[in-house]
Amino acid sequence: MKKVNKKITPAFVTELSRCEIFVFGSNLAGHHGGGAARIAFDKFGAEWGNGVGPQGQSYAIPTMQGPVETIKPYADDFIAYAKEHPLNRFLLTRVGCGIAGFTDEEIAPLFVEALDIPNISIPEEWLPIMIAEPHRIENKDVEEPKVVDEQILQELCIKYKYVIGSGVLTEMPKIRIRYISSDGKMRFANFGNYFFYGQELFVFDYDEIWAQEHNQGVVLDYFHDECNGRGYAHRVTFAGVRTGLKDSHGDDIYTGDVIEIWRGDSCYIFAFSAFGAGEGNERYAFVLDNHCLTVDKCDSTLIAGTVFDLEQELDWPKPLNARCSEYNNGK
């Protein structure tokens, strides 16, 4: 499946997914007789006599009432509306650059804020103009949780649901997970390419080998959109999150790792997991019967494997912390 750049509005829009809105230039009288306005009227629910705002699967921005300054309030209203509807994707066309007679250089700066709003795609011709604007609004740093487990990931996936479903590139938490696919192989994915449907983890992948496992029903139910161009969503088993810690050989430690540790002359093997995620006293540690042991309290550490048996079929997902607890308790 081909990857689609969801930040650029296609030059020719002939159909929309469930979440998409066609944004076109109009006149205050709402006479949608030509150009993109006619397309909006014929195909996407634009209303004759309505020249402003949302209608059907379209949004009208008046551009023929006077000089370029008169368009700015309507551009601001559109951007505010898009922010209030984060689960819709707005396909902003070259409003004002057709019948209205304005140039891209005149109109693009009116919409510069859209460059940093993930659910607005922009015309390709406007991209270099917007990037050069001195007053462009930059994204703020994304706050990331100190410790991550499945529950935290589920909450983050809901928060970033639109971004995940659309594939729009924007600032997101830099959380890398490990998972086991149906072929029994351990694989990895960055945040934005996976989501939880209930307790089950799904990963988006463009490789054709996952075409037969794609679950469009889950995609539609979770995102309320077809997520066209997003790849194949296939069910996998969550197998850990990168903790930012390394063992004594410099290898990344993931939750779910089984680690050989040395403290003085004593050697132990424990499973590594998340403790108290989101509760204020969170940490990554070896969670034992009555205490937690952190990596910094060990003289040396060496990843010896994981808590997973890769020969088993994928079954109903068991929380990773429970798997680690069972391992450490000798079950």
Which residues of the chain carry a pLDDT beneath 50? 310-314
Distance CA 16, CA 331 (A): 52
Long-range contacts of 192-197 (CB under 8 A, 24+ apart): 192/160, 192/163, 192/164, 192/167, 193/164, 194/157, 194/164, 195/157, 195/161, 195/164, 195/165, 195/222, 195/233, 196/150, 196/153, 196/154, 196/157, 197/221, 197/222
Its pTM stands at: 0.75
**DSSP for residue 190:** E
SS3 sequence of 126-174: HHHHHHCCCCCCCCCCCCCCCCCCHHHHHHHHHHCHHHHHHCCCCCCCC
pLDDT at 80: 96
Distance CA 138, CA 81 (A): 19
Distance CA 61, CA 111 (A): 12
**DSSP for residue 314:** P
pLDDT at 311: 42
Q: Which domains does the chain have, with CATH numbers?
A: 8-131 (3.40.220.10), 150-173+186-236 (no CATH), 239-328 (no CATH)
